[in-house]
Structure 1
Amino acid sequence: MSPDRPLKGTRVLVPRGGKWGDNVSASLRSFGATPVIAPMINFAPAETPELLDAALARLQNGVYDWLVVTSATTVDVLVGNGIRPPATTRIAAVGETTASALTLAGYRVDFVPEGDNSARGLVKEWPSAEVQGRVLVPQSDIAEPTLVAGLSARGFDAEFVAAYRTVGVPIADDVKRGVAAGEIGVVLITSGSVARQIAAQLAPLPDGTLVACIGPRTAFDARAAGLPVHLIAETRSAAALVEAVVDHALAENTPTEKD
């Protein structure tokens, strides 16, 4: 194994497509891996569009003091509906990836948690001076109530609205066979939704399959879905996820004193 290509000969399941999947795949290839892109979730319009439309109209009209955005998909919903909150409405992003998506779409970002890019991290690091006002939290229909409950406990009038639905995508038969045979040696898990799809469609995973999760919360969700967890990226970023896999490969192939 070359130190510059520690993943040579390793096939890695990348469970998201689009720009994210392409970028992760390019990074994996630079370390010698063979990525297998197999999107396992997709997004569909909310089942209650009238509730979403009403909430977005209130947002546009400046009713909310804060807008909390937890995913690039929510950014797509805002853009698709032509929503531009007034300057009086501040915007919080759950992490750097979401903040980047907002910035690229032309939105101002006022707050991003520094330590923990998760719903819990956002609530924990919320500016202590901000303890009241109305907050809109548009999320997936299956999002846990962590943000709304946490912000409400801090004194906000926090409102959840389903911005989109998260739906499972059947994985291709050849990918299923590759995982079952152990030919795909690493499985990346990028969210609780992905973890549940992997458990439903691919479990039980072979003993030798390495499962890498994009942060502690995703690792918790993966274990809750009955999956083993071997690696946890330190931060919720694609770069950290790939780095965790690469560091593991380097450690596995580093000679010990006995060697």
Structure 2
Amino acid sequence: MVNKLPLSGETVIFTSTKKSEEPYELVRQLGGNPVSYPLIRTEERVSVNDDERMMQTRNYDWLIFTSQSAVAAFHHKLKRFKMDVQDYELRVAAVGEKTAHALERIGFRVDFIPDVFSADVFVRQFNPEGESLRALFIKGNLAGTLISTELSLSVDEWTVYETLPEVSSAARIVELVKDTTSVTVLFASPSAVTVFTEHVAPKIGWAGYTIGAIGHITKRALHRMGAPVHVMPETYTLPELVQTLAGSKGRN
């Protein structure tokens, strides 16, 4: 018999910044209780030469985005300097459907998305044709170097946002895990894993609750810290992670 509410009685903690209600509503539909305790927050990086950098962005052949936060920060700069997406005669690459949708919402057409929503897969699959192509990687301060160093075309970087720890959530997670019978903690980035390791794990350890990772990079970060990973989706999105969690709980 199929369990229609496989997350019944389960408290599901999201440790990433809330960008959409979809995964939370999905947890509710599956019988669970979603809680948002982000361990990181993002802030736009503002510089005195932002206006000049924004004008230069139109001179590239490709813009590359790997996160919704990068899209949001770029959009703020577009509006601040009264620039129009329609003025861009270039192509756009996105790592992930959510990032692509964020770009489309502000008016860009997305020309390339990798099969797996991860930077290491992106650099293997992104091979645009043409000589002397130039790309601009619009990123956060914690982005890795793969995209900048491993692509065949010339890549410049522009850091448009900062990822900062949100330590205030740590005590709430500790209390919830200690006081709740059945808990799952979901991780969407290595940054959240780092904050959890420093401020939560010393007080509750890595056992007694379910751990979910949105992709293999985050899974690898958890394993480096000595943590198990019980669920990981094939498609690296939060709704798919929730569905994978529900499938796991439904079999128990």
TM-score calculated relative to the size of structure 2: 0.88
The RMSD of aligned alpha carbons is 2.2
Contact between 2:119 and 2:147, CA under 8 Å: does it hold in 1? yes
After superposition, give the CA deviation of every residue in 1:109-164 in whole Å (9 maximum; x if it has no partner).
11111x2111112111113535641111111111111111121xx1x110112111
Aligned residue in 1 for 2:99: 98
Match of 1:191 in 2: 189
- Say if 2:23 is the partner of 1:28: no
Alignment partners' CA distance in 2, 1:184 and 1:251: 15
2:208 counterpart SS class: coil
Give the counterpart letter for 2:32 in structure 1. Answer: A
Q: Which moved more, 1:94-103 or 1:235-244?
A: 235-244
Asked if the contact 2:9–2:182 (Cα under 8 Å) also holds between the matched residues in 1, the reply is no
Instruction: Give the structure 2 partner of residue 255 of structure 1.
Output: none
Partner of residue 250, structure 1: 250
Partner of 1:158: 155
- CA–CA separation in structure 2 for the residues paired with 1:8 and 1:2: 13
Matches within 5 A, 1:58-97: 58-59=56-57, 62-82=58-78, 83-84=83-84, 86-97=87-98
Per-residue deviation at 1:2?
A: 7.2
For the structure 1 residues 183 and 84, does the alpha-carbon distance in structure 2 shift closer, same or farther, using more than 3 Å as the test?
farther
Correspondence 1:90-169 to 2 at 5 A = 90-113=91-114, 115-127=115-127, 129-130=129-130, 132-151=132-151, 154=152, 156-169=153-166
Aligned partner of 1:257 in structure 2 is none
Match in the other structure for 1:241: 241
Partners of 1:168 and 1:146 in 2: CA distance: 23
Q: What is the CA–CA distance in structure 2 between the aligned matches of 1:25 and 1:188, rounded to whole Å?
A: 12
Aligned AA (1:162):
T
Report the Cα distance in structure 2 between the residues aligned to 1:95 and 1:73, rounded to whole angstroms. 12
Q: Which residue of 2 is the match for residue 8 of structure 1?
A: 8
SS of the residue corresponding to residue 121 of structure 1 reads helix
Q: Which amino acid aligns with 1:108?
A: R
Distance, in Å, in 2 between the alignment partners of 1:163 and 1:19 is: 18
Aligned residue for 2:53?
Answer: 55
CA 1:64/1:4 → structure 2, altered by over 3 Å: closer, same or farther?
same
* Compared CA separation, residues 39 and 251, structure 1 to 2 (3 A): same
Contact 1:180 1:202 in 2 (8 A): no
Aligned in 2, Cα 1:184/1:54: closer, same or farther, shift over 3 Å?
Answer: farther
For 1:177, the equivalent position in structure 2 comes to 175
Q: In the aligned structure 2, how far is the partner of 1:65 from the partner of 1:202?
A: 44
Q: Work out the number of aligned pairs and report it.
A: 244
How far the C-alpha of 1:222 sits from its partner, in A, is 2.1
- Paired residues of 2:170 and 2:200 also in contact (CA < 8 A): no
Q: Report SS of the residue matched to 2:59.
A: coil
Determine whether 1:201 maps to 2:202. no
Q: Is this contact kept in 1: 2:171–2:200, CA < 8 A?
A: no
Amino acid aligned to 1:194: A
CA distance in 2, matches of 1:200, 1:183: 24
Unaligned runs of 5+ in 1: 253-259
In structure 2, C-alpha distance between the alignment counterparts of 1:122 and 1:84, rounded to whole Å: 27
| 1:161-202 CA distance string (max 9 Å, x none) | 211110011216343212245645210001111111111221
1:218 maps to 218
Return the alpha-carbon distance in structure 2 between the equivalents of residues 130 and 5 of structure 1: 52
> Is the Cα–Cα contact under 8 Å of residues 69 and 98 in structure 1 kept in the other structure?
yes
5+ residue gaps, structure 2, are: none
